[in-house]
Amino acid sequence: MNKQFDIGVESLNGDTVAQPESRQAPLPLPLRGGLRNNSREQAADAGAGATGKSFFIETFGCQMNDHDSEKVAGVLQGRGYRAVGTPSQADLVLYNTCSIREKAAQKVFARLGDWKTLADGKIIGVLGCLAQQEGEEIFERAPWVSLVCGSASYRKLPDLIDQLESGGRRVTGLDLDTDETFETDITRRDRLLSAYITIIEGCDYSCAYCVVPHTRGPERSRPSEAVLAEARRLADVGYTEIQLLGQTVNSYRDPGPRGWRFVDLLRAVADVPGIRRVRFTTSHPNDFTREIVEAIETVPALCNHVHLPVQSGSSRVLQAMRRTYTREEYLEKIGWMREASRDISITSDIIIGFPGETAEDFEGSLSLLDAAQYDAIFSFKYSPRPNTSAKDMPDAIPEEEKSRRLAILNERQRQIQTARYEKLVGSTFEVHTDAHHPARGVWGGRTSCNRLVNFSTTRESLLGQYVQVKISRASANALFGEQVE
Ligand code: 5AD
Ligand code: SF4
């Protein structure tokens, strides 16, 4: 549900600084300002603009949303819409929204407010979690919006767009009861070097703080054959890295005849010729099995990084959160990874200030950081959300106290990370190069375990290449080194 490692302050983000430049085959060429289309998409691209209409889509929130937007863009391009770089140029302006915390929702309403006097003639649409959560209420708060559609109804998007094109004033897709997933003939690929594949949508857990089961609906897995076909297509057009996505990615259960579990699919995707790295996120501790660790140990193409959100280090709070595991059970799974023959980096999400969290509970989260030795955490102040069971729980923690605890937690993690990264100085890692900062003479990329590496080299045109980098220096979030031949 979250963007991995985006706390890397020194990160060279491929999306913003990577310069498309000549690179060795087989990477496909970036089209239109870095957007990249696969062969089926290029067919659509040729027809793009046939309607003379244009669209702009802005995405908030998690990787699932990023990828949903790629699919929505594909649907639109397939219908002859042309992508434009700013909302003011577009006939259709879409916001793919997030509502995981209140701040995220407020941000979207602020964005919608910008159109109050300017929307004339444009179609403004709200997609994603806030659309599902607020529904037609959005029309009340922003009457210039004419499309509201939650992610569980994206299959209906072409119909909804038809209705708008034939003069419909307000259309909605808000059903949650769909048992199908959002399949598209065309997906626009916005990421240059690593491609997303959604394998499971929705969530069947009911964590007390979380709005996702309400906004994304019940869990639906895609047939393994469809996932593998997509992986093969991506490899054919030059992708070497794939990221499997799902709210609870490891709860995957193949609805097709093979009946595969997550680990079977993981192994099969890693086996696709041309695929050198497979990542997956987000894993739920309850469905995290020893077999997954064994697969990482034995299949080099499976990245040695697991994002395993714990949420709290106190079993009492975990129970109140309905997380379905205790601190001890969670740490046992961490133990499997620490005993593995391959170094596995582990990252986590932690919520501070869940209702009733005592000083002792918080101490439990701090000591869990020591025990788990994460490579990074994403820490959040608890934010009450509509349609969740924790919303009206007693003993809310005051905001100042949440902020105080959050600062202590982050400082403890910073120390742990600094020490962990320091130990890596002198090691050599394979880095998938995804960024270049010419002014600083630095290249950037990720190790298999998702650590960010900035490095210097005497070579040119490294984007998309896998290179060996010897680490000479470390900070709390990144490694620095030189390429070795
Ligand atoms: N308040 C704060 N953090 C939350 N998360 C989910 N819901 C809430 C909430 N109501 C966090 C969890 C989850 C991450 C993506 O967002 O840690 O893993
Ligand atoms: Fe939300 Fe819990 Fe489902 Fe994750 S597992 S999406 S935190 S309800």
Instruction: Express each pLDDT in 354-407 by its tens digit.
Output: 999 999 999 999 999 999 999 999 999 999 999 999 999 999 999 999 999 999
- How many Å lie between the centroid of ligand 2 and the Cα of residue 250? 12
Do the beta carbons of residue 262 and residue 227 sit within 8 Å?
A: no
Q: In this predicted structure, what is the pLDDT of residue 217?
A: 94
What average pLDDT does the segment 107-113 reach?
Answer: 92
Per-residue b/e over 455-470, b at no fewer than 16 CB within 10 Å? Answer: bebeeeebbbbebebe
> If you average pLDDT over residues 100-119, what whole number do you get?
88
In the predicted structure, residue 26 carries a pLDDT above the cut 70: no
Give 75-86 pLDDT, tens digit per residue: 999 999 999 999
Give the model confidence (pLDDT) of 405-431 as tens digits: 999 999 999 999 999 999 999 999 999
Average pLDDT over the chain reads 88
**Range list of β-strands (E), 13-153:** 54-59, 82-83, 92-97, 123-127, 145-149
pLDDT at 264: 98
Q: Is 100 in the pocket of ligand 1 (CB under 6 A)?
A: yes
Distance separating alpha carbons of residues 390 and 378, to the nearest angstrom? 20
Mean pLDDT is lowest, of 73-87, 164-178, 471-485, for: 164-178
As a dihedral over the C-alpha atoms of residue 344, residue 345, residue 349, residue 352, rounded to 10 degrees, the angle is 110
Confidence of residue 11 (pLDDT cuts 50, 70, 90): very low
Q: What is the mean pLDDT of residues 64-73?
A: 96
Residue 9, pLDDT score = 20
Q: Which of 49-63, 315-329, 392-406, 470-484 has the lowest mean pLDDT?
A: 49-63
**Would the CB of 389 count as within 6 Å of ligand 1?**
no
Cβ burial 163-174 (10 Å sphere, 16+ → b, else e):
bbeeeeeebbbb
pLDDT attached to residue 64: 95
What digits encode the pLDDT tens for the residues 237-272?
A: 999 999 999 999 999 999 999 999 999 999 999 999
481 CA from centroid of ligand 2 (Å): 38
Q: Is 283 in the pocket of ligand 1 (CB under 6 A)?
A: no
pLDDT reading at 180 higher than 90:
no
What is the distance in A from the centroid of ligand 1 to the CA of 285? 15
Q: Is 80 left (phi over 0), alpha (psi -120 to 50) or beta?
A: left
How confident is residue 72, by pLDDT bands cut at 50, 70 and 90?
Answer: very high
Residue 155: per-residue pLDDT: 86
Residue 293 pLDDT > 50: yes
Q: How far is the CA of 197 from the centre of ligand 1 (A)?
A: 23
Task: Quickly state the pLDDT bin for 10 (edges 50, 70, 90).
Answer: very low
Q: Is 466 in the pocket of ligand 2 (CB under 6 A)?
A: no
Using pLDDT thresholds of 50, 70 and 90, give the confidence band for residue 51: low
Is pLDDT at 273 greater than 90 in this prediction?
yes
Band the pLDDT of 185: cuts 50, 70, 90.
confident
CB 182, CB 201: distance < 8 Å: yes
Predicted local confidence at residue 178, as pLDDT: 74
* SS3 category, 346: strand
Ligand 2 atom closest to the Cα of residue 216 is 6
State the amino acid at position 101 in one-letter form: R
Q: Is the pLDDT of residue 320 over 50?
A: yes
pTM of the model: 0.90
pLDDT band at 345 (very low <50, low <70, confident <90, very high): very high
Residue 236: partners with Cβ closer than 8 Å, 6 or more residues away: 38, 39, 274
Residue 340 has pLDDT above 70, yes or no: yes
d(CA 194, ligand 2 centre) in Å: 25
Determine if ligand 2 sits within 6 Å of the CB of residue 213: yes
Helix (H), strand (E) at residue 244: strand 241-245
* Residue reference for tokens 């922003």: 142
Q: What's the pLDDT at 50?
A: 58
Q: Which ligand is nearest to the CA of 99?
A: 1
pLDDT of residue 38: 35
Q: Is the pLDDT of residue 304 over 80?
A: yes
Backbone angles phi, psi at 411, to 5 degrees: -65, -40
Q: Distances from the Cα of 377 to the Cαs of 101, 412, 414, in angstroms?
A: 17, 11, 9
Instruction: Tell me the residue length of the chain.
Output: 485
Q: Residue type for 445, please?
A: G
The three-state secondary structure class of 141 is helix
Give the mutation target among 7, 102, 210 for probing the ligand 1 site: most ligand atoms within 8 A of CB: 210
